[in-house]
Chains A and B, each alone.
Chain A
Amino acid sequence: MPGGPVLVEGPVEITLDDGSTARSDRFLVALCACRRSRSYPFCDTSHRRRTRPPPTDAEADAD
């Protein structure tokens, strides 16, 4: 997935830089490839594009 996680078939056991291990026995595991995840090494969708919302009707009325 461009810009998204790396998908690998579970179960997986990942050894991290600090020597600790992370496990997941899900059928498919999404591994963070952008380093922004707060659940690293697992994807938490932090790679998503962030946008400013268009003004809503309520805000437009307030202007």
Chain B
Amino acid sequence: MNGPKLPPARGPLSAGVISALTSGPPPPQVAGADPLGEDLQLALYLCYELHYRGFDGVSDEWEWDPGLLRTRRDLERLFLAALRGGVPGGDDVTGVLEELLAEPIEAVGISHHLRDDGELWQLREYVVHRSIYHLKEAEPHAWVIPRLQGRAKAALVAVEFDEFGGGRAERMHSQLFADLMDELALDTSYGAYLEVAPAEMLAVVNMMSLFGLHRRLRGALVGHFAAAEITTAPSARRMAQGLTRLGVDPLFYTEHVEADAVHEQVLRRDVIGDLLRREPGLAADVVLGVQATDWLEGRFADLVLGRWRSGRSSLLVPMSDSR
């Protein structure tokens, strides 16, 4: 087995991609689909996953199949247009980063809930959602490396080195996350929870792949990375408090408090600073990356907290207590 198993389809687009990958009819036509809906997000996720680890039983040839790439491009156009349409835009990079640097008092986010009142089943659900990204943590960002130069490149690679454990496999952030999943009696195999992750979660990861795979969107990838690193330290502190309260080892999150306090400074000063000195025309793309991250994370948090408030599971299929 060389990758995760394919998930069930969520509509005609994802069904078309799955049947193309498994039995070979031409990939589906994309028109009029909901750009943030379950079907398009899963179809796009399947196309992108071919560039990471692929799927069990799916030929590696599909990664560069022109017909499937055309379908992926059509899916991406709808998704990117939705991202541009969902955010205010502009080119004030300093202004949008300053907004993220202010810590709102009385905020209500997932990490606030898990710190104060979250139950173990909710923590497990949250970790299942995030496994879609954290088991490939920092990987979408590696694609931007050849598209940067000089100080911006060197600084981004230094942050990536930290994300990948500073040369020690057991300290890779993806491994620390797998250790956390193991402690919570969750399945640590890559892609195990793809079939229960809702579109709101897939969209966050699809955004990273979209920005990472397109050289023209390198500014957006850097903006996204900075936004993620800036917002992580305070939320990781709250998560660590929540895990400690629930008797779970908080190492994954305590590592992110200190690491991201450093990464934030490096991303702002060295990566964004140097990139915009070289390519000032990318300011609007950096802003897009920052704002799209904030917007998609907000949609994800609204979904999860909304479901939990009414006592329901935030996953597509609720989990039983065991693996």
A interface residues (Cβ-Cβ under 8 A, vs B): 1, 4-5, 7, 24-30, 38-39, 42-45, 48-53
Q: Cα distance A27–B162 when bound, in Å?
A: 8
- Compute the total of residue contacts between A and B using a CB distance below 8 Å: 71
**Chain A CB within 8 A of B134 CB:** no
B31 sits at the interface (CB 8 A): no
Structural contact, B105 and A26, CB atoms closer than 8 A: no
Interface CB pairs A-B, < 8 A, 11? A5-B265, A26-B262, A28-B158, A28-B262, A44-B237, A44-B257, A45-B264, A50-B102, A52-B104, A52-B106, A53-B105
Residues A30 and B261 in contact, CB atoms below 8 Å apart: yes
Cβ–Cβ contact B257 & A49, under 8 A: no
Given contacts A45-B233, A52-B105, A53-B105, contact A27 B258 (CB under 8 A): no
Interface string of B243-275 (1 = CB under 8 A from A): 000000000001001111110111001000000
Establish whether residues A25 and B265, one from each chain, have CB atoms under 8 Å apart when the complex forms. no
Please name all residues of chain A whose beta carbon is closer than 8 Å to the beta carbon of B254 when the two chains form the complex.
Answer: 39
Report the nearest A residue to B266, measured CB to CB.
A28
**Which 9 A-B pairs give the minimum distances between C-beta atoms?**
A45-B233, A43-B261, A51-B102, A53-B104, A30-B262, A48-B103, A30-B261, A49-B102, A50-B103
- CB within 8 A of A45: which of B106, B161, B234? B234
